[in-house]
């Protein structure tokens, strides 16, 4: 099928194009973008008039827990570990497969409504999550989250391998190796997990230094001065997607390898749980690719990446006392092309470019641009 989008305002996120272009046409054939220019006139199956509308890449959420829509707004006044141990983990133990599927469907609908078309999920019940994502036609990277202090952790590896084998031919489904965190995994099992991730050739997705207590727990469990020492000593040769990364200092940031370290910044969840604010400016100056995540709705309240972008920008301007920090286009990069790089999907999505994916989602916000209520079309989508 050939689709022609006419006369759009294009925010392509491509390094080879202007940041904002007016009256642009985009030709899509069989879900791939084949031409981007003005005044395209070709025979097509469908024409979309995008006059006064914006075309931009679908947003990419690089850290979330899709079934946790059922735990929306379950935290107020709790620190992270207290909230997990007292409120979340006991309830998760009672979740059935149907709960996981339905919770994921609800999250996918929320994503689509707010312009997110790709998500990096970390949870259990992986088959139900994948089936829900397929039903909703969103792009999903997922895992079978593993904790390691007993032999049960090794059983979870087999579950992950089985789910990878089952869905290996699904074009919109990919996988990473999900380690819950260093503070829930001892050194014996951590090494086994890392070795298996290398064998499977998967990036490792892990919570890391979300708060001060987690930092202290890692230092005591691993007998190290800094949690970054564990990353340097044990994770050599692996791509790492580290979620949160709040409780490390600037010197420790400089010790992270920017070639293999990707950070998912979750500002709203970190604020709500009283974790603090990640040093995003320093991370980016060090060359680390930083993307954005919402976390689960229990701590992040929702999956709205536009809200996440707003918080990410305002927090950095405030803590650095510089309104020039984290300007709009930079934040949009974090929510699009940086997310694609983090998930190894930059050849397919993250920017509007020829040969990238070109399915589109039509969603509307009430923002007013130049006194015109512009509708947004996301490509690289579902």
Share of the chain above pLDDT 70, in %: 92
Expressed in angstroms, the distance from the first to the final Cα of the chain is: 16
Whether residue 317 is found in the same domain as residue 375: no
Q: Is 7 exposed, middle or buried (0-12, 13-18, 19+ CB in 10 A)?
A: middle
Confidence grade of residue 374 (pLDDT, cut at 50, 70, 90): very low
Of 59-68, 123-132, 150-159, 286-295, the least confident = 150-159
Mean pLDDT, residues 231-235 taken together: 97
Distance, CA of 297 to CA of 299 (rounded, Å): 5
Model pLDDT for residues 201-227, shown as the tens digit of each residue: 999 999 999 999 999 999 999 999 999
CATH of the domain at 39: 2.30.40.10
| 297 vs 270, more confident | 270
Whether residue 90 is found in the same domain as residue 150: yes
Whether residue 257 is found in the same domain as residue 149: yes
Q: What is the pLDDT of residue 199?
A: 96
Whether residue 70 is found in the same domain as residue 190: yes
What's the total number of domains in the chain?
A: 2
Share of the chain above pLDDT 90, in %: 79
Tokens 């050194």: give the residue.
Answer: 187
Whether residue 326 is found in the same domain as residue 223: yes
Q: What is the pLDDT of residue 28?
A: 95
Model pLDDT for residues 346-367, shown as the tens digit of each residue: 999 999 999 998 865 554 444 4
Residues in contact with 28: Cβ distance below 8 Å, sequence separation at least 6, in sequence order = 2, 3, 4, 5, 34, 358, 359, 360, 379
Whether residue 153 is found in the same domain as residue 251: yes
| 378 vs 70, more confident | 70
Q: What is the pLDDT of residue 269?
A: 93
Whether residue 27 is found in the same domain as residue 157: no
* Coil, helix or strand at residue 339: helix
For 350: left if phi > 0, alpha if psi spans -120 to 50, otherwise beta; the answer is left
Residue 373 has pLDDT above 50, yes or no: no
CATH of the domain at 313: 3.20.20.140
Residue 369 has pLDDT above 70, yes or no: no
Whether residue 26 is found in the same domain as residue 113: no
Residue 163 has pLDDT above 70, yes or no: yes
Whether residue 154 is found in the same domain as residue 182: yes
Q: CA of 135: how far to CAs of 61, 104, 108, 272, 295, in Å?
A: 19, 10, 9, 31, 22
Tokens 């031919």: give the residue.
Answer: 169
Mean pLDDT, residues 52-65 taken together: 95
Confidence grade of residue 379 (pLDDT, cut at 50, 70, 90): low
Q: What is the pLDDT of residue 2?
A: 94
Q: What is the pLDDT of residue 57?
A: 95
* C-beta of residue 359 within 8 angstroms of C-beta of residue 379: yes
195 lies in which domain range?
59-342
Q: How many CB atoms lie within 10 A of CB 110?
A: 18
| 373 vs 223, more confident | 223
Whether residue 139 is found in the same domain as residue 108: yes
Mean pLDDT, residues 227-243 taken together: 96
Of 67-81, 120-134, 184-198, 259-273, the least confident = 67-81
Q: What is the pLDDT of residue 380?
A: 55
Q: What is the pLDDT of residue 378?
A: 55
DSSP string, 47-110: EEE-TT-EEEEPEEEEEE-GGGGGGTT--SS--HHHHIIIIIHHHHTT--HHHHHHHHHHHHHH
Mean pLDDT, residues 330-347 taken together: 97
Mean pLDDT of the residues in the chain: 90
Q: What is the pLDDT of residue 361?
A: 55
Q: Is 37 exposed, middle or buried (0-12, 13-18, 19+ CB in 10 A)?
A: exposed
Tokens 């497969």: give the residue.
Answer: 97
Residue 83 has pLDDT above 80, yes or no: no
Q: What is the pLDDT of residue 362?
A: 55
Whether residue 64 is found in the same domain as residue 50: no
Whether residue 42 is found in the same domain as residue 173: no
Confidence grade of residue 71 (pLDDT, cut at 50, 70, 90): confident
């Amino acid at each position: 099928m050939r689709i022609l989008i006419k006369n759009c305002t294009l925010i392509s996120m491509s390094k080879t194009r202007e940041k904002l272009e007016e009256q642009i046409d985009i030709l899509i054939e069989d879900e791939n973008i084949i031409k981007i220019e003005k005044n395209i006139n070709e025979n097509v199956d469908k024409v979309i008039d995008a006059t006064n509308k914006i075309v931009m890449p679908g947003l990419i959420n690089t850290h979330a827990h899709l079934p946790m829509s059922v735990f929306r707004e379950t935290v107020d006044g709790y620190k992270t570990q207290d909230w997990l141990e007292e409120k979340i983990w006991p309830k998760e133990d009672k979740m059935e497969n149907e709960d996981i599927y339905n919770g994921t469907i609800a999250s996918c609908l929320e994503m689509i409504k707010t312009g997110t078309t790709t998500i990096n999920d970390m949870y259990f019940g992986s088959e139900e999550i994948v089936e829900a994502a397929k039903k909703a036609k969103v792009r999903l990277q997922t895992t079978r989250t593993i904790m390691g202090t007993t032999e049960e952790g090794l059983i979870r590896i087999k579950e992950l391998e089985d789910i990878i084998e089952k869905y290996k031919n699904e074009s919109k489904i990919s996988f990473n190796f999900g380690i819950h965190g260093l503070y829930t995994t001892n050194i014996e099992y951590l090494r086994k997990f890392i070795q298996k991730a290398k064998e499977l050739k998967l990036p490792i997705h892990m919570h890391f230094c979300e708060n001060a207590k987690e930092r202290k727990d890692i230092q005591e469990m691993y007998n190290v001065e800094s949690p970054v020492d564990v990353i340097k000593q044990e994770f050599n040769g692996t791509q790492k997607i580290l979620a949160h990364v709040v409780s490390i200092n600037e010197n420790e940031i400089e010790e992270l390898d920017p070639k293999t370290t990707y950070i998912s910044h979750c500002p709203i969840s970190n604020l709500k749980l009283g974790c603090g604010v990640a040093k995003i400016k320093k991370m980016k100056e060090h060359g680390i690719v930083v993307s954005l995540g919402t976390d689960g709705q229990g701590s992040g309240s929702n999956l709205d990446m536009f809200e996440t972008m707003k918080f990410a920008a305002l927090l950095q301007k405030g803590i650095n006392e510089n309104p020039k920090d984290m300007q709009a286009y930079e934040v949009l990069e974090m929510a699009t092309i940086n997310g694609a790089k983090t998930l190894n999907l930059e050849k397919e999505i993250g920017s509007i470019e020829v040969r990238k994916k070109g399915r589109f989602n039509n969603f509307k916000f009430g923002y007013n641009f130049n006194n015109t209520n512009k509708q947004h079309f996301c490509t690289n989508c579902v």
